Structure 1
Amino acid sequence: MKASSIYALACVGVILVLVSSCSLNDKPNFTIVKSAIGAAAEPSESAALEQLSSWSDALYAAANQSNRQEAYLLLQRIEELAATDDVRKTGTPAGWHAFDLSLQAAKKAMSEKGTTTLWYTEAARLKLASDAVNRPEAPLWLQYEGVLRDDSQRILTAWQSQIEDRAMAAEAAIGIYGEHLDRLEVAALMQRDAGELEAVRERLDYMKEVVKAVGSGQLRHETVNSALDRVNASASALFKDPSDEGEPAVAEAIPPGVTVGQRREGSMQLAEMFIAAFVMGVLGFAGWRKYRGGQEKGIPISRNKFNG
């Protein structure tokens, strides 16, 4: 074969290799383009969720300062943003329904006098819910697992105390537990089945009735411990990741040995959000004890003064 023929065949081979390489690269290049388009679309959703969380934080701060004008303006912005498709892609229908109800409750309470505590509570619920959809991997509401555990221990301590009115003390502690449960409700519904939250509520209500029944001699003392165990079991199920039957949800999102508070700089925020309810419960019980003591000593106490 002539040298010119060999050279021509070599050229043809090189051309075929180049064409083949180009055709093989067509698909990966298309994939890269699609990925770039998808990445460009994602910021719209994430930015909306970030904005929702930011406004909810500002709403909670305004409520904490009793700034009705700023709070009402933020509520309007949150309501408009929360209605968009980009925001509602995250969370659950039940969660967003509860979110809408909380928004309306806050607006209604804000338009009336003497309702600062009510719209403050709704602001806290909205803050936790917005945080849950914005940071679903480690939401702030999961820290309430420890809070409810402490509440449970407080109920048990009150019930096992030797004071005459231990039933009333236990009921006051149950009330604090219920307030904390109300606080996390909307956030929990964004990530959990509504039945799990309802189970905790039903068992807490049942326990309250058991405490009253035992106090009046209708049930045995041990019944309270059993009812409290059921409350604890339901609460534990609420905080577990639905896709995992082992570890609690907190452990799913955070490495071993690291708490949610370490992962998120939110421990102080949480303290602010539940300590008020605890203090109010303690003061309420202390006021009741003072009223009861006054009755035993025959000291008249004005009902209006006590309620004020």
Structure 2
Amino acid sequence: MKVRFIIPFIICIVMMIGSAGAVWGNASLLSQYSPVLSSGPYKQLTRMDELASSLYQAAYTNNRQAGYVQVQQLQRILEGELKYSAGMPEGWRVMEQDARFIEQTLISGATTADWLMEAARLRLATDALVRPEHALWLQYENIMLDDLSRVEKAWKRQTGDGAIAARAAMNSLQKHAERIEPSIAMMYGIMHGSELMERIRYTNQLLESKSLSALNADMVTHSLKSLKEAITRVYDQGGRADVLPAVAPLGAANPLSWTLFLGAIISAVLTYSGWRKYKTNPFGVKPLS
């Protein structure tokens, strides 16, 4: 009666071996095609992010030769098919414009300050594509709100030069808004951040006005309030368009390996049950003659 547990035991061993083979075989299959998979959009996206980061470092250290090489490589990616796999078309156009500006600036022999802003814009935009949930440009909400707080404090000065001080403080806010403009366009389209830029332009226009009447002062106060609301709306989670993923993730589940694994468990249970019956009655039940 050993057959009660020997057969299930053999089946259990076979299924365990098959389950392990299915898992390792699947991994082998993926490794076989890894060169093909690695050349897909996600690798290009990662490469673009690396180039943008290196380009920013080159601009920060005024490494013109390295910057020129990197911006040319970045342009080849920007002009390729990747733009149809992720992000918004407006964002890709803005990035292409910034890359062309950097290339022309380096050819013309301008200084670092003339292409550092564009390098930072490209860095933030590519970072937003690769890691949208934890992108660097998301940190600019608090930065711009701090800028606006300094503008409001300068505007409320009692020394008679509030408009001049507020206009000077607006420069930092405007630079930060311009820096994240490609990121907003890449993630949500060009119109998503247009209100912010228009509010900045209008507030600057009011602060530069020579008229310091009470009506003008009220308009400045109201414009600063609207500017704060515009900053908040840029980062508002509601009503945002979903970003197209670069690639679809590979499925991790393997039905065959799960089937063999469950079969091995069932066979192990049957083996244990048969072994217990054998220990209780090793010779089985004989019929009476």
TM-score (norm 2): 0.67
C-alpha deviations, 1:137-163, integer Å up to 9, x for none? 221111110111011101101101123
1:148 aligns with one of 139, 144, 151: 144
Comparing 42-51 and 128-137, the one that deviates more: 42-51
2:226 aligns with one of 220, 230, 243: 230
Amino acid at match of 2:115: W
C-alpha deviations, 1:211-258, integer Å up to 9, x for none? 23475327342322211111111111111235469xxxxxxxxxxxxx
Please give the root-mean-square deviation of Cα atoms over the aligned residues, in Å. 2.6
Residue number in structure 2 paired with 1:252: none
Q: Aligned-pair distance for 1:124?
A: 0.5
Q: How does 1:36-115 map to 2 (within 5 A)?
A: 43=38, 44-86=40-82, 88-115=84-111
The answer to whether the 8 Å contact 2:105/2:115 transfers is yes
- Give the percent of matched residue pairs that are identical in Structure 1 and Structure 2: 27
Amino acid at match of 1:191: M
Residue number in structure 2 paired with 1:118: 114
TM-score (norm 1): 0.63
Q: Residues of 2 paired with 1:105 and 1:243: CA distance?
A: 33
2:128 aligns with one of 132, 155, 159: 132
Residue number in structure 1 paired with 2:186: 190
Residue number in structure 1 paired with 2:169: 173
Q: Residues of 2 paired with 1:190 and 1:126: CA distance?
A: 11
Q: Aligned-pair distance for 1:179?
A: 0.9
1:200 aligns with one of 196, 202, 208: 196
Relative distance call for 1:181 and 1:197 in structure 2 (3 A) is same
SS at match of 1:221: helix
The structure having more radius of gyration, on CA atoms, is 2
SS at match of 2:96: helix
C-alpha deviations, 1:107-139, integer Å up to 9, x for none? 112223443212111110110111111112221
Unaligned runs of 5+ in 2: 1-25, 242-289
Residue number in structure 2 paired with 1:260: none
Higher relative contact order (CA 8 A, sep 6+): 2
Matched positions, count: 212
Amino acid at match of 2:96: D
Q: Residues of 1 paired with 2:219 and 2:239: CA distance?
A: 33
SS at match of 1:128: helix
The answer to whether the 8 Å contact 2:188/2:240 transfers is no
Q: Residues of 2 paired with 1:186 and 1:42: CA distance?
A: 29
SS at match of 2:108: coil
Q: Aligned-pair distance for 1:177?
A: 1.0
Q: Residues of 1 paired with 2:238 and 2:67: CA distance?
A: 35
The answer to whether the 8 Å contact 1:94/1:190 transfers is yes
Amino acid at match of 2:190: A
Residue number in structure 2 paired with 1:240: 236
Residue number in structure 1 paired with 2:22: none
Confirm or deny that 1:216 pairs with 2:212. yes
Q: Aligned-pair distance for 1:201?
A: 1.1
Residue number in structure 2 paired with 1:288: none
The answer to whether the 8 Å contact 1:109/1:116 transfers is no
Residue number in structure 1 paired with 2:11: none
